[in-house]
């Protein structure tokens, strides 16, 4: 039953979208449960990434570059893999969900029953996020409990480490959801989008500091580039993930200006400012993705490609 009880047109629209989204979440969860082997494969793939990046980092050891972290590279890559476990799978599944509906022959049925493409992707993203968050808990919590930076493991040691990290992770979820909506709606016009979806994921990872510290971008001659990038929720989320869980430093500012030349007296953004910027970015991307999906759906209807080429 919907939580919206008003009689206005806007309230009825919200009520319909809410009901359809909840139904979409349930439908996606049921579909995922029918393919239990895929869940096992995703779990094995996550463990493989954690082990592979861990050993890669061990082979490199402690970095000596101008922008190297003050801990081993294995911890750096391990944190990258762990953080992105929460977002990679649901991003890809949501980006491809409309294409899969077309392949199963259910797209036309959903559209004719007033299930809009935006609600389909929202439902898919929420259900996939639940699945991959469980995988994150099963794989990352034991790993972070065993792996140590010095004599301290990588789990939150104080309430502030945990509660300061939660909003940044939630905002990262919303941001990646919006990116998946942009990419997923493209499949309404072009069905073969596997490469471009994965290119976008790697671009976001590169800008987010997956493979190297985001402060490295200041080496391009502009100290403000890392400051600009840190405004993205996934960048600030990845940054905080390392600062709070590896270094256990909740007083850190965004980014680490001690590694950057040319910033003058600028000491970085405070946690509160970063949260406000992240919220603003998420609101803009949410609105933008909603209207982009609506626009792409309209074009697909005119071209007759909403279900086929």
Q: For 129-176, how does the pLDDT look when each residue is reduced to its tens digit (9 = 90+)?
A: 999 999 999 999 999 999 888 888 999 999 999 999 999 999 999 999
Range ranked top by mean pLDDT from 69-78, 200-209, 212-221: 200-209
Q: What's the start-to-end Cα distance of the chain, in Å?
A: 37
Query: Measured on CA atoms in the order 301, 303, 304, 309, is the torsion positive or negative?
Result: negative
The pTM of the full predicted model, rounded to 2 decimals, is 0.85
Question: Quick check: 199 pLDDT over 70?
Answer: yes
Q: In the predicted model, what is the mean pLDDT of residues 8-16?
A: 58
pLDDT confidence band for 179 (50 / 70 / 90): very high
- Cα 101 to Cα 94: distance, rounded to the nearest angstrom: 11
Domain extents in the chain:
9-303
Of the candidate ranges 26-30, 120-124, 223-227, the one whose mean pLDDT is the lowest = 26-30
- Cα 88 to Cα 85: distance, rounded to the nearest angstrom: 6
Of the candidate ranges 10-19, 92-101, 179-188, 278-287, the one whose mean pLDDT is the lowest = 10-19
- Cα 184 to Cα 256: distance, rounded to the nearest angstrom: 34
Peptide bond into 255 cis (omega under 30): yes
Question: Quick check: 74 pLDDT over 80?
Answer: yes
pLDDT confidence band for 277 (50 / 70 / 90): very high
- Cα 223 to Cα 171: distance, rounded to the nearest angstrom: 25
Q: How many CB atoms lie within 10 A of CB 9?
A: 8
The predicted pLDDT at position 270 comes to: 95
- Cα 242 to Cα 79: distance, rounded to the nearest angstrom: 7
Question: Quick check: 59 pLDDT over 90?
Answer: no
pLDDT tens for 20-29 read: 677 777 777 7
Q: In the predicted model, what is the mean pLDDT of residues 252-266?
A: 85
The mean of the pLDDT values for the chain is: 85
- Cα 306 to Cα 187: distance, rounded to the nearest angstrom: 8
Question: Quick check: 15 pLDDT over 80?
Answer: no
- Cα 185 to Cα 118: distance, rounded to the nearest angstrom: 8
Q: In the predicted model, what is the mean pLDDT of residues 180-204?
A: 90
Q: In the predicted model, what is the mean pLDDT of residues 105-115?
A: 81
Question: Quick check: 1 pLDDT over 50?
Answer: no
* Residues β-bridged to residue 148: 153
Q: In the predicted model, what is the mean pLDDT of residues 238-249?
A: 94
**Token match 């990258």: residue?**
80
**C-alpha separations of 282 from 34, 124, 193, 268 in Å:** 33, 19, 24, 21
- Cα 267 to Cα 288: distance, rounded to the nearest angstrom: 32
The predicted pLDDT at position 16 comes to: 65
- Cα 140 to Cα 144: distance, rounded to the nearest angstrom: 6
- Could you give the percent of the chain with pLDDT greater than 90? 48
């Amino acid at each position: 039953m919907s939580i919206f009880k008003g009689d206005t047109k806007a309230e009825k629209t919200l009520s319909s979208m809410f009901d359809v989204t909840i139904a979409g979440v349930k439908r996606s969860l049921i579909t995922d449960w029918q393919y239990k082997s895929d869940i096992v494969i995703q779990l094995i793939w996550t463990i493989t990434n954690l082990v592979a990046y861990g050993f890669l980092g061990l082979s490199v050891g402690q970095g000596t570059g101008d922008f190297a972290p003050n801990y081993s590279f294995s911890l750096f890559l391990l944190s990258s893999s762990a953080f992105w476990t929460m977002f990679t799978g649901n991003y890809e599944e949501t980006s491809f969900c409309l294409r899969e509906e077309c392949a199963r022959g259910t797209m036309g049925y959903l559209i004719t029953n007033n299930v809009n493409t935006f609600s389909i992707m929202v439902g898919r993203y929420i259900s996939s996020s639940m699945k991959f968050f469980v995988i994150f808990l099963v794989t990352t919590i034991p790993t972070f409990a065993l792996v140590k930076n010095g004599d301290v493991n990588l789990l939150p040691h104080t309430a502030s480490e945990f509660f300061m990290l939660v909003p940044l992770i939630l905002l990262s979820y919303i941001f990646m959801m919006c990116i998946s909506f942009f990419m997923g709606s493209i499949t309404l016009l072009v069905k073969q989008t596997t490469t471009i979806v994965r290119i976008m994921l790697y671009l976001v990872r590169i800008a987010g500091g997956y493979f190297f510290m985001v402060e490295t971008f200041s080496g391009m001659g502009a100290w403000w580039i890392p400051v600009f990038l840190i405004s993205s929720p996934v960048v600030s989320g990845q940054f905080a993930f390392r600062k709070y869980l590896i270094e256990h430093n909740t007083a850190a500012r965004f980014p680490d200006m001690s590694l950057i030349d040319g910033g003058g007296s600028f000491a970085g953004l405070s946690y509160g400012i970063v949260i406000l910027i992240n919220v603003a970015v998420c609101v803009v991307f949410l609105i933008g993705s909603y209207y982009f999906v609506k626009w792409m759906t309209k074009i697909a209807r005119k071209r007759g490609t909403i279900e086929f080429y």
